[in-house]
């Protein structure tokens, strides 16, 4: 008989506001490796919540689990979920925007070494954790039988320790974690943080591992290493891997089956080959001609940007810039000039300093005052305020997404971009709301204007933050991994919007991505950062 690791038959969520559009039928069999796919807002995360037991089902319709031959007895020890929304710092996710750049706050955050040691300890405890039955069962054993049982339990613990240690060594090797051990977790780049979170979760050696978009934020080398590791993991262990994917054009080869979630309905399970054959290509263009004309017709309102600019005006000048945190050098002797109207691609390995560079441009990093930096013609530290700089800039980054945890209407989030305030929200005036709704319409999310932010899917939240970056029609766009968590149609849409925006006179852009196909066609300059 085929083992069913997870099974749901006709599942209906008890809470009416959390229900899918149709009863859920789902099963994960032993030996299967599954991808859950679907557009942004289709219901993928809701299905995961059901699988994890976060959404209680109607009586007699619960989720059934069978994790044999795992020695861990608790569902929470056998079923692990790693979400897209990583966090720096503690397990409670205590983190605020700009914290990563403030030297005084770094010493209060834990080291990678300590957090991984804690994760290994928790993993061992999970394998030996006793259920209520184990704690209170009365055994009629002779002294010899009890001694034999205890000796066997000790032998099992030793074997489990060896298995966990083997997994730990393998993870440290493929992700080069020894280089990160003495770093404060707050100093990890987005890609390094992803490696850390993956390691911490995989070290528990679960029976079923659900991962939400695990490849985003990783450079090409790290993505290949992770895919290879997961292939080996599924081939040599009993772990069943479930990937929740928004970017569905590069599903790893080790995946055997796919479940598509569409319009809040869970589709039938099919083989990877059948899914690939059924997939429809994404249109070559998603932005309508009407929206394109509307964007091109906008008056930027930037009085400093002369219509007859010859492109010689510098927007950013770095002169021998050095950024250090303790003994670690992030940027060393960096020279960079970005001129008005140029469109730059910024790339490099995880941890090479890409986000640090952008934090200086956006006036979020205090170390900019200790360097020779000119932004928009003003020397940093010579009297200009942060707001004098920020009023020119539209910005989005993974750090910004992590910091937005207030459940306020989406239109208020977009409106906060008009004043560059990320933590204070107020109802926009009618004329401001019109501008916000225009950009929400551009990104296809106007219908969510009055929906609160945390009720949106991760991809929908990303589109809201993109609208926030564009809302003041900035002269400089700073886009740090802007397509994170977006499905293929929305990736195409956002790329279209960026390309049209950059066709306008005197619009300057810097974009970070680990996928070259995400770059707009009007990129005319590139810079690649290497680790120091």
Provide the residue range defining the domain that includes 218: 4-278
Domain end residue (candidates: 257, 278, 299): 278
Domain end residue (candidates: 251, 278, 305): 278
The CA-based angle 352-357-362, given to 5 degrees, is 150
Q: Is 125 helix (H, G, I), strand (E, B) or coil?
A: helix
Residue 309 included in any domain: yes
Q: Is residue 247 domain-shared with residue 369, that is, in the same domain? A: no
Phi/psi of residue 496, each to 5°?
Answer: -60, -45
pLDDT at 300: 47
pLDDT at 216: 81
pLDDT at 193: 76
Q: Is residue 129 domain-shared with residue 249, that is, in the same domain? A: yes
Residue 13 included in any domain: yes
Q: Is residue 235 domain-shared with residue 324, that is, in the same domain? A: no
For β-strands 4-11 and 24-29, DSSP reports them as antiparallel
Residue 106 CA to residue 323 CA, distance in Å, equals 15
Residue 78 included in any domain: yes
Edge-first strand listing for the sheet containing 265-271? 79-82, 208-212, 240-245, 34-37, 257-262, 265-271
Kindly list the distances between the CA atom of residue 70 and the CA atoms of 1, 75, 158, 169, in Å, as whole numbers in the listed order: 18, 11, 15, 21
Residue 61 included in any domain: yes
Q: Is residue 32 domain-shared with residue 172, that is, in the same domain? A: yes
Domain count, the chain: 2
Residue 6 CA to residue 53 CA, distance in Å, equals 11
Residue 492 included in any domain: yes
Domain end residue (candidates: 278, 311, 329): 278
Other CB atoms within 10 Å distance of the CB of residue 108 = 10
Per-residue DSSP letter, 95: -
Q: Is residue 242 domain-shared with residue 345, that is, in the same domain? A: no
> How many residues in the chain?
532
CB 507 within 8 A of CB 338: no
pLDDT < 50 positions in the chain: 86-97, 300-306
Q: Is residue 454 domain-shared with residue 402, that is, in the same domain? A: yes
Residue 284 included in any domain: no
Residue 230 CA to residue 245 CA, distance in Å, equals 15
Q: Is residue 56 domain-shared with residue 167, that is, in the same domain? A: yes
Residue 283 included in any domain: no
For β-strands 343-348 and 508-512, DSSP reports them as parallel
Q: Is residue 298 domain-shared with residue 246, that is, in the same domain? A: no
pLDDT at 55: 86
DSSP strands (E only) in 68-116: 79-82
CATH number at residue 89: 3.40.50.300
pLDDT at 96: 46
Q: Is residue 405 domain-shared with residue 455, that is, in the same domain? A: yes
Q: Is residue 358 domain-shared with residue 481, that is, in the same domain? A: yes
Per-residue DSSP letter, 452: B
Residue 202 CA to residue 168 CA, distance in Å, equals 8
Torsion of CA 196, 201, 204, 207, to 10 degrees: -150
Exposure class string for 198-217: b at 16+ Cβ within 10 A, else e = bbbbbbbbbbbbbbbbbbbb
Phi/psi of residue 115, each to 5°?
Answer: -70, -35
Q: Is residue 316 domain-shared with residue 245, that is, in the same domain? A: no
Residue 272 CA to residue 256 CA, distance in Å, equals 5
Alpha carbon of residue 509 to chain centroid: 22
pLDDT at 422: 53
Q: Is residue 316 domain-shared with residue 191, that is, in the same domain? A: no
């Amino acid at each position: 008989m085929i083992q069913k690791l997870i099974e749901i038959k006709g599942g209906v969520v008890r809470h009416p506001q959390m229900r899918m559009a149709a009863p859920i039928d789902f099963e994960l069999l032993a030996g299967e490796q599954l991808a859950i796919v679907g557009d942004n807002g289709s219901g993928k995360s809701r299905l995961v919540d059901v699988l994890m037991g976060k959404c209680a089902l109607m009586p007699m319709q619960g989720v059934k689990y069978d994790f044999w031959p795992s020695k861990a007895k608790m569902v929470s020890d056998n079923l692990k979920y790693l979400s897209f929304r990583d966090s720096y710092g503690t397990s409670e996710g205590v983190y605020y925007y700009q914290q990563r750049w403030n030297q005084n706050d770094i010493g209060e955050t834990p080291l990678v070494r300590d957090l991984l040691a804690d994760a290994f300890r928790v993993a061992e405890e999970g394998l030996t954790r006793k259920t209520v039955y184990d704690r209170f069962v009365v055994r009629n054993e002779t002294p010899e039988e009890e001694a034999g049982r205890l000796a066997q339990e000790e032998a099992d613990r030793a074997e489990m320790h060896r298995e966990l240690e083997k997994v730990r060594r393998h993870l440290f090797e493929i992700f080069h974690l020894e280089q990160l051990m003495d770093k404060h977790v707050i100093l990890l780049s987005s890609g390094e943080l992803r490696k850390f979170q993956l390691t911490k979760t995989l070290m528990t050696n679960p029976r079923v591992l659900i991962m939400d978009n695990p490849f985003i934020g990783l450079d090409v080398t790290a993505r290949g290493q992770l895919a290879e590791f997961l292939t080996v993991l599924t081939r040599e262990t009993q772990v069943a891997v479930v990937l929740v994917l928004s970017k569905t054009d590069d599903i790893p080869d080790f995946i055997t089956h796919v479940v598509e979630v569409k319009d809040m309905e869970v589709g039938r399970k099919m083989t990877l080959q059948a899914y690939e054959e059924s997939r429809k290509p994404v249109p070559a263009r998603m932005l309508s001609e009407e929206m394109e004309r509307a964007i091109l017709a906008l008056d930027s309102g930037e009085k400093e940007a002369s219509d007859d600019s010859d492109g010689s005006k510098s927007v950013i000048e770095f002169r021998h810039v050095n950024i250090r945190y303790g003994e670690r050098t992030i940027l060393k002797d960096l020279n960079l000039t970005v001129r008005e109207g140029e469109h730059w691609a910024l790339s490099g390995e995880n941890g090479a300093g890409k986000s640090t560079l952008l934090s200086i441009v956006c006036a979020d990093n205090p170390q900019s005052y200790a360097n020779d930096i000119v932004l928009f013609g003003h020397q940093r530290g010579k009297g200009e305020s942060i707001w004098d700089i920020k009023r020119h800039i539209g910005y989005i980054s993974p750090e910004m997404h992590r910091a937005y945890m207030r459940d306020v209407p989406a239109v208020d989030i977009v409106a906060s971009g008009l004043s560059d305030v990320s933590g204070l929200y107020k109802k926009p005036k009618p004329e401001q709301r019109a501008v916000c709704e225009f950009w929400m319409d551009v990104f296809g999310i106007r219908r969510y204007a009055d929906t609160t932010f945390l009720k949106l899917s991760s991809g929908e939240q990303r589109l809201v933050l993109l609208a926030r970056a564009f809302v003041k029609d900035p002269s400089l766009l700073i886009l740090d991994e802007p397509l994170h968590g977006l499905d293929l149609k929305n990736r195409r849409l956002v790329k279209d919007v960026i390309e049209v925006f950059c066709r306008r006179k005197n619009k300057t852009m810097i974009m970070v991505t680990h996928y070259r196909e995400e770059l707009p066609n009007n990129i005319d300059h590139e810079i690649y950062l290497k680790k120091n």
